[in-house]
Structure 1
Amino acid sequence: MYDLLLKNAWVVDPLNSVNGVADVAIQEGKIAKVQRDIQEEAKEVIDFTGKTLQPGIIDSHVHLGTMWGSPFGPRMLAMNGVTTCLDMAGPLDDILDNVPEYGVGINMAILQFASPPFTFKNSTPSQQEMIDLIDKSLADGALGVKLLGGHYPLDPEVSALLIRTALERRAYVAWHAGTTKNGSNINGMIEAVKMADGYPMHLAHINAYCRGAIHEAMEETKIAIDLLKANPNIFCESYVSPKNGTRLTCNPDGTIQSKVTGNCLRAFGFTEDADGVRKALLARKAFAVYDAGGYSDLMTGEEALKLWEAAKTNVGGSFNINPPLPRIALAQAKRDDGAFVVDAISTDGGCIPRNVILSQGLSLVKLDILSLSEFAQKTSLNPARMLRLENKGHLSVGADADITVYDLATQTPVASFVDGKKILFNGELVSKGATVICTEHGKDAIEARGMKAIVVDPGKQIERITAL
């Protein structure tokens, strides 16, 4: 007798070439069988006739730290069908401390930010400072580190040294392109790829470098695609929302703390200072993140200005800065061998309210930009490979029973499961806690917090999935 039997859904599993109506049987948290009309009995049977079922959605770029908006990121992800996520900034302790209250049963990997003025004192930390940060982060349960270069840049040579140092210590390394020399734009991306020097690295949200800051947006997109084709050591994702995420924080002298916020203000014709933020909010070009009661949302106009002023400018923010055509081109571009140029679809969401993998990502399927199988590949199989999660991203017998079920017509989630346990069901979140994806160095720290740890080796080589 199976523990759980999911019947009559349209099952999509690109690794195993499954794309049709089938049943999925689950036993002890693992996939036990996938085939049409399974007759064996199960303790629980759920009929998903008319719905689509795929391996659990993995969002490979989110933010769960309260400094980016709220502690509600896990809830907001799970309500949108996500079963696993990669947090791209931390702070690590902040996220882990919030799991007992705000965890909803999803898997999370966390990258500690390696950026001034937070985890480094300035833009030129010594290698020993880098080693200290990396080692402590891994020991505390982080999967690796992320350079927040677009927001809080390091010097170019320091960025390159940090990448090498982290990789030598078998940490996962990601970079929001940008240094003190080049910003979060196509020049910053070119610089980041050069600084990676052939080493494996996760380059964050490729669409963020194709906003028309240096050249026309589609010209920048072509440059980005060609650059990625020529540098297969770079793994990456892009998101499909027009909204970005940043902070609206200003320094005491009125200057903007985040370079990305400055870029957005400049793009919309505002000054790069507190007065520019004020005018952008009133013009409804800038948005502030606020607590809407158990989840984050965005506000703009006079109400947002009052929030921003009451918080002494220290709030998360967003701008509708991403043009549509680059987002589409980056989602579908392929290499000569059939592998995707941009490996995954992400959201850069979490506690930032743009968790739109289903609500907007499935539009790519309806527009015939991606097939349903390709959508599953970019939202589950590929990001699982990026995170070295060999037992996730597919429905092979013995794989982890992480599953997302959704309504293709409405592009909304119906249910999700992690290790065969319900996370989202009937519109309600029904689980607690979290499983943390970490290295061997952090396993004890995670378990000491009462959480389950999945140990992976970020130093393991990744092989891309070619045409399926």
Structure 2
Amino acid sequence: MAYRYDVLLKNGIVVDYATDREGVADVAIKDGKIAEIAPDIAPTLAQEVIELSGYHVVPGIIDLHTHISAWIGGKFGHKMLAKAGVTTTLDMAGPVDSVLELARDYGVGLNVATIEYVRPGYTVKDTNPSTAELQDLLDRSLKKGAIGLKLLGGHYPLTPEATARAIEVANQNKAYIAFHCGTLNKGSNIEGFHEAIELAQGKALHIAHINSYTRGVIRPWMQEAEEAIAALIANPTIRCESYLSPLNGTSAKCSQGVPESLQTRKCLEAGGFAPTEQGLEEAILSGWAQINMEAGGEVVLATGSEAVAYWRQKGTDTTVSFNVNPPEPRLRLATAKRPDGRFVVDAISTDGGGIPRNVIVEMGLSLVKLKALTLKEFVQKTSYNPARILGLMNKGHFRPGADADITVLDLTRQQAFMAIVNGKVIMVNGYVCGQGSTVITTAAGAAYVQEKGLQSLVVDLAQSAFYGT
């Protein structure tokens, strides 16, 4: 028998920002695409029928800031994202080869984009790389499948001049450029945030995790949040996201008796600990510092002597989290709107992946229950906006012919019940069953991605919302 559809999702509550839809309907999928949405589609027309009464069916969640490389995040990040209902993600650091290798070896069906870090002593010679060196790094990164570069200012800062050069180089090439604010002149705080906007000089830039600069380090945290909101309204070329978890994530690696990351040192001082390797050990034992430890096929947060032993076993080269994000700025930034009604902060992200804080659904739906966001607005911030920023015009919505990337939500439990990518179920009720990865890349990197044994999805960022279209 020849079926009209491959899969039919029956009786779910379909919510789509792009088409202004919210109500019970059936969703038919054919060849990995949305074929039809209607009040009642006959089950006999589909090869497979999935009953979803009581569940909400939304465009696949796109997390615009995660970490899924061996350097940070690790091999379980793909599984953790799928369990959280994510269908597409942007790895926000690289290294790009590591991201591709883990996507190939541990992929569970996700769509994955990545950007390459600009790190002194690793991808550039020092803290003041020239335009030519930055152009060379970008060219090599694009050819390897990255879509752009990431400035790790809060951890491994460059000079302000080199930071501005990197933004300029990316914009000239219509490549992605993201910035964890901070230079050798300003820290990873509200002043570093303002400096980032100044250095961008009206060019396109993704400022990462806005909430990280509103922790009350310089001024009261709500004053910092309002400053950030006003600055974003005044600078519409800045793309951004914020996350809802109280936890951050940073490197626990130490050299010569101190943490390599400036951010780790700042977090230790915030907890009353010395910004040294010994201070970090004391913070782990006390519970202020939480080591990201692999256990049971995932990454979990650990403290105490067991966490110290794991950290030492790894030569201190692990990720550590601190409870440093106050709640009020997180909620304000997630819901703030511009005078024209658009959101100030484009997306809700997690900075998660292999870092255990993949709470877009869990905490995002809390905002829905509080009526701080409507369900359509939740979809806008977690799928539609991120898709447009990445140039994924066939994702983030349920128009006919769109990619069948779908997240099924259980609003009562505030969890993802199912995740579907390109018409294939990759997770159901916490069980991850997908395989492989599709790498979002540019035309320059498609061949390299395929040589790595991965599927490629080519985007043109010049035609994306990142560059204003």
Q: TM-score w.r.t. structure 1 length?
A: 0.97
Number of the residue aligned with 1:305 = 308
CA displacement, residues 212-248 of structure 1 (integer Å, 9 cap, x when unaligned): 1100110000000000000000010000000001011
**One of 280, 285, 289 as aligned partner of 1:282:** 285
**One of 230, 236, 240 as aligned partner of 1:232:** 236
CA displacement, residues 46-70 of structure 1 (integer Å, 9 cap, x when unaligned): 1100001100000000000122242
- Aligned: 1:189 with 2:189: no
Number of the residue aligned with 1:112 = 116
- Aligned: 1:175 with 2:189: no
Task: Report the secondary structure of 2:146's partner residue.
Answer: coil
Give runs of ≥4 in structure 1 deviating > 6 Å: none
Number of the residue aligned with 2:266 = 263
Number of the residue aligned with 1:62 = 66
Write the letter of the residue equivalent to 2:236.
P
How far apart in 2 are the matches of 1:400 and 1:313?
A: 42
**One of 273, 276, 283 as aligned partner of 1:273:** 276
- Higher mean displacement: 392-401 or 277-286: 277-286
**Percentage identity across paired residues of the two chains:** 51
Number of the residue aligned with 1:405 = 408
How far apart in 2 are the matches of 1:67 and 1:461?
A: 29
Q: 1:336-375, aligned counterparts within 5 Å?
A: 336-375=339-378
Aligned-pair distance for 1:168? 1.1
Write the letter of the residue equivalent to 1:457.
D
How far apart in 2 are the matches of 1:101 and 1:92?
A: 14
Write the letter of the residue equivalent to 2:48.
E
Q: Is the 8 A contact 1:142 1:439 kept in 2?
A: yes
Number of the residue aligned with 1:132 = 136
Q: Is the 8 A contact 1:69 1:290 kept in 2?
A: no
- Aligned: 1:334 with 2:314: no
Q: Is the 8 A contact 2:26 2:40 kept in 1?
A: yes
Number of the residue aligned with 2:25 = 22
CA displacement, residues 115-134 of structure 1 (integer Å, 9 cap, x when unaligned): 22321221011222111110
How far apart in 2 are the matches of 1:59 and 1:93?
A: 20
- Aligned: 1:203 with 2:207: yes
Task: Report the secondary structure of 1:296's partner residue.
Answer: strand
Q: Is the 8 A contact 2:389 2:466 kept in 1?
A: no
Q: Is the 8 A contact 1:59 1:379 kept in 2?
A: yes
Write the letter of the residue equivalent to 1:407.
D
How far apart in 2 are the matches of 1:123 and 1:427?
A: 44
Task: Report the secondary structure of 2:360's partner residue.
Answer: coil
| Structure 1 segments unaligned to the other structure (5+ residues) | none
Q: Is the 8 A contact 1:239 1:346 kept in 2?
A: yes
CA displacement, residues 414-453 of structure 1 (integer Å, 9 cap, x when unaligned): 1111111111124322221100111110011111222221
Task: Report the secondary structure of 2:71's partner residue.
Answer: helix
CA displacement, residues 306-336 of structure 1 (integer Å, 9 cap, x when unaligned): 2222323221110011000000000100011
Number of the residue aligned with 2:160 = 156
Number of the residue aligned with 2:47 = 43
How far apart in 1 are the matches of 2:465 and 2:350?
A: 22
- Aligned: 1:244 with 2:248: yes
- Aligned: 1:78 with 2:82: yes
How far apart in 1 are the matches of 2:464 and 2:391?
A: 9
- Higher mean displacement: 186-195 or 90-99: 90-99
How far apart in 1 are the matches of 2:108 and 2:73?
A: 18
How far apart in 2 are the matches of 1:154 and 1:38?
A: 57
Number of the residue aligned with 2:219 = 215
- Aligned: 1:95 with 2:99: yes
How far apart in 2 are the matches of 1:275 and 1:446?
A: 42
How far apart in 2 are the matches of 1:416 and 1:183?
A: 39
1:212–1:321 Cα change, 3 Å: same
Task: Report the secondary structure of 1:229's partner residue.
Answer: helix
How far apart in 2 are the matches of 1:100 and 1:331?
A: 33
1:154–1:464 Cα change, 3 Å: closer
Q: 1:387-402, aligned counterparts within 5 Å?
A: 387-402=390-405
Task: Report the secondary structure of 2:49's partner residue.
Answer: strand
RMSD between superposed Cα atoms in Å: 1.3
How far apart in 2 are the matches of 1:96 and 1:464?
A: 25
Aligned residue pair count:
464
Number of the residue aligned with 1:383 = 386
Q: Is the 8 A contact 2:252 2:319 kept in 1?
A: yes
Task: Report the secondary structure of 1:335's partner residue.
Answer: coil
How far apart in 2 are the matches of 1:450 and 1:306?
A: 37
How far apart in 1 are the matches of 2:182 and 2:285?
A: 29
CA displacement, residues 52-105 of structure 1 (integer Å, 9 cap, x when unaligned): 110000000000012224211111101110000000001111111122321001
How far apart in 1 are the matches of 2:190 and 2:305?
A: 34
How far apart in 2 are the matches of 1:281 and 1:6?
A: 47
Q: TM-score w.r.t. structure 2 length?
A: 0.97
How far apart in 1 are the matches of 2:261 and 2:467?
A: 34
Number of the residue aligned with 1:418 = 421
| Structure 2 segments unaligned to the other structure (5+ residues) | none
1:317–1:348 Cα change, 3 Å: same
**One of 456, 460, 465 as aligned partner of 2:463:** 460
How far apart in 2 are the matches of 1:260 and 1:211?
A: 13
- Higher mean displacement: 343-352 or 310-319: 310-319
How far apart in 2 are the matches of 1:86 and 1:92?
A: 11
How far apart in 2 are the matches of 1:461 and 1:400?
A: 17
